[in-house]
């Protein structure tokens, strides 16, 4: 029961059932995303070498002025010669401790087909500190019950507004794993550059490019690809 403690923490911090009157006053936002990418890289592991089409829907509920709950689902499928696909459901609880600091808990169930990764629940704890409106740093630790192993990362997020409708974003990070599908120690360094353009208040499009450079490329687990990765893609987002 390596994951008993993270699960207990998550359950303890989830909100109690709300009355109908309170639920009617909760602000609710829904976002639907359709994406296409040339290659699918997850936590430094190439899960699909051909192009992938993905779909996600997510709802954000403000439980109070300082607590946000996000819930959603995700499906991805390989569109080329491969037959990889993945389905997931997730929940994330965030606590706004100050204007600069946010801490949170997450739980995600992932189901993989034609993949070296095993189905399982991913339980995590994370924190984000915003030094200013354009720059922040996030650190997180996650236990994957499918891999029966830990994953942790530290990443920076920078953005630059270029007009009233568009902005650049740059994410860079480094990850650490503990016997995660044959990798152990510093796993990879990664980066993703994106440009978001708001077609309207409810619709946006985001082309992006990214890369993952492996530090630990010695996994001997059958099916694991020990290569650096570079990819590109686009997201189309609709908000309700």
Task: Report pLDDT digits (tens) over 77-86.
Answer: 999 777 899 9
> For residues 104 and 69, what is the distance between their CA atoms, to the nearest angstrom?
10
- Predicted pLDDT of residue 27: 52
Give the mean pLDDT of the chain: 88
pLDDT tens sequence across 218-233: 778 878 888 899 999 9
* DSSP H or E segment with residue 52: strand 52-64
* CA separation, residue 60 to residues 5, 140, 188, 237 (Å): 26, 20, 31, 15
pLDDT at 217: 79
Which of the pair, 218 or 117, is modelled with greater confidence?
117
Q: pLDDT (tens digit, 9 = 90+) per residue, 162-209?
A: 999 999 999 999 999 999 999 999 999 999 999 999 999 999 999 999
Task: Give the containing element (helix H, strand E) for 167.
Answer: strand 166-180
Q: State residue 21's pLDDT score.
A: 35
* Secondary structure class of 222 (helix, strand, coil): coil
Beta-carbon-side half-sphere exposure of residue 39 (alpha carbons within 13 Å): 16
Superfamily of domain 4-12+21-239: monomeric porin ompg (2.40.160.40)
Q: Are 228 and 216 in contact (CB under 8 A)?
A: no
Please report the pLDDT score of residue 225 as a whole number: 86
93: pLDDT confidence band, cut at 50, 70 and 90? Answer: very high
Cα torsion 222, 228, 234, 239: sign: positive
Inter-CA distances, 217 with 49, 208, 230, Å: 17, 25, 16
Tell me how far apart the alpha carbons of residues 44 and 34 are, in angstroms, rounded to a whole number. 22
7: nearest Cα among 85, 109, 101, 133: 109
**What's the predicted TM-score (pTM) here?**
0.84
User: Does residue 22 register a pLDDT over 70?
Assistant: no
Window from 16-25, 52-61, 98-107, 224-233 with minimum mean pLDDT: 16-25
DSSP 8-class letter at 164: S
């Amino acid at each position: 029961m390596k994951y008993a403690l993270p699960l207990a923490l998550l359950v303890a911090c989830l909100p109690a059932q709300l009355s109908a009157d309170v639920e009617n006053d909760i602000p609710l936002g829904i976002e639907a995303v359709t994406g296409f990418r040339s290659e699918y890289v997850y936590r430094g592991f190439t899960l699909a070498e051909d192009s992938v089409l993905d779909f996600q829907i997510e709802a954000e509920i403000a439980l109070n002025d300082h607590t946000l709950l996000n819930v959603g689902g995700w499906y991805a499928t390989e569109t080329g010669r491969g037959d990889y696909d993945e389905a997931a459901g997730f929940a994330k609880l965030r606590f706004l401790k100050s204007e600069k600091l946010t801490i949170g808990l997450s739980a995600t169930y992932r189901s993989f087909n034609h993949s070296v990764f095993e189905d399982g629940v991913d339980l995590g704890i994370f924190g984000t500190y915003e030094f200013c409106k354009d720059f922040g740093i996030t650190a997180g630790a996650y236990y994957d019950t499918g891999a029966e192993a830990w994953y942790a990362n530290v990443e920076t997020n920078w953005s630059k507004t270029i007009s009233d409708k568009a902005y650049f974003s740059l994410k860079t990070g480094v990850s650490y794993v503990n016997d995660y599908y044959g990798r152990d120690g510093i796993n990879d360094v990664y980066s993703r550059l994106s440009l978001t353009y708001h077609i309207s208040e409810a619709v946006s499009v985001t082309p992006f490019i990214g890369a993952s450079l492996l530090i630990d490329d010695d996994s001997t687990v059958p099916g694991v690809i020990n290569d650096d990765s570079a990819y590109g893609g686009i997201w189309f987002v609709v908000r309700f």
